[in-house]
Amino acid sequence: PNGEFDPFSHFHSESGNDYYSGSNDMPYGAESDYLLEQALQTYDIENRTEIIYDWQNLAMDKIVPFLPLFSLNDYIATWANLKGFNSSWTLTDNLPYIYFNSYHPGQENMSELILADNNWQTLNPLSIIDHSSDFVSSLVNEPLIKLSPDGVPLRNGLIDDWESINESYYIFHLRDNVFWNPSYNVTERDVNSDPLNPLTDNLMEGLKYNQTSNGTNIQITAIDALFTLLSFSNEIVNEQSDNYFWMKDIFLDPIDNLSFHLIIDGNETSTELDPY
């Protein structure tokens, strides 16, 4: 429904999203690049399709079996006194479960975990495309739905329950008693500023009706979830809004302010609702 898939931008050795580790040195890597280049330069749709089929067969029969030998390795090192860490999860997902049971050399506090990443570019969720920004954002933003390492939806995000009316109609329920963080005025702060003090620092106005958030007075409800999803699906504010084409309709529950309804259509060209 979103147009033709472009394998060149995903699998050519010189593309930014190369799934073959950015090299054509592996067996059949040069042949793969050649077929992708031929497909890119071929305008006749039938000939282009045949070349893509040839490339698919090459990838599946010759290249995929070799990938484990040429994939980059990721290494994770932790102090022996850090307990509860699961390397299958991201660091953000590990935070509720990890703890120090003793001190390691240079450690002064067992209740504090210092994190640093100076490569982030933006903390606007609508504009994040790099790993560092995504990591920092994950530390301060709570997702609507959390996923396990296997991609299974969990019930410990902002959404803690859901029900399926049918394959295209879902109702989601948010956790109760979750509040927006305090809105401190940080526009004039820098690395040399004193730590924020909830008792003395001024809160920033700017919410509806000039409200301020002190961490306990502005509750997160279903309308916040709707605003988030509608923002991500709006092409004016999100360049990747096509990822949300399947959202046919979304609306608040008429009775429960912690629930919202979502209608899904995986194929907008058909007359019936199709699951995604």
Q: What is the mean pLDDT of the chain?
A: 85
Query: Does residue 50 fall inside a structural domain?
Result: yes
57 sits in which H/E element: helix 45-58
The residue among 194, 214, 234 that closes a domain is: 214
Judgement on whether residues 240 and 152 belong to the same structural domain of the protein = yes
Residue 25, pLDDT > 80, answer: no
Judgement on whether residues 172 and 230 belong to the same structural domain of the protein = yes
Residue 250, pLDDT > 60, answer: yes
Cα–Cα distance list, 113 to 22, 43, 96, 206 (Å) = 34, 55, 12, 32
130-159: pLDDT as tens digits: 888 999 999 888 899 988 878 889 898 999
- Whether the pTM exceeds 0.85: the reply is no
The answer to whether 81 and 100 are in contact (CB under 8 A) is: yes
Q: CA 181 to CA 205: how far, in whole Å?
A: 13
The residue among 29, 52, 70 that closes a domain is: 70
Count how many domains the chain has: 3
Owning domain of residue 17: 8-70
Please state the rounded mean pLDDT for residues 34-61.
89
Please state the rounded mean pLDDT for residues 58-79.
80
Query: Does residue 223 fall inside a structural domain?
Result: yes
Judgement on whether residues 195 and 256 belong to the same structural domain of the protein = no
Please state the rounded mean pLDDT for residues 113-136.
86
Question: Which one, of 92, 185, 106, lies nearest residue 138 by Cα?
Answer: 92
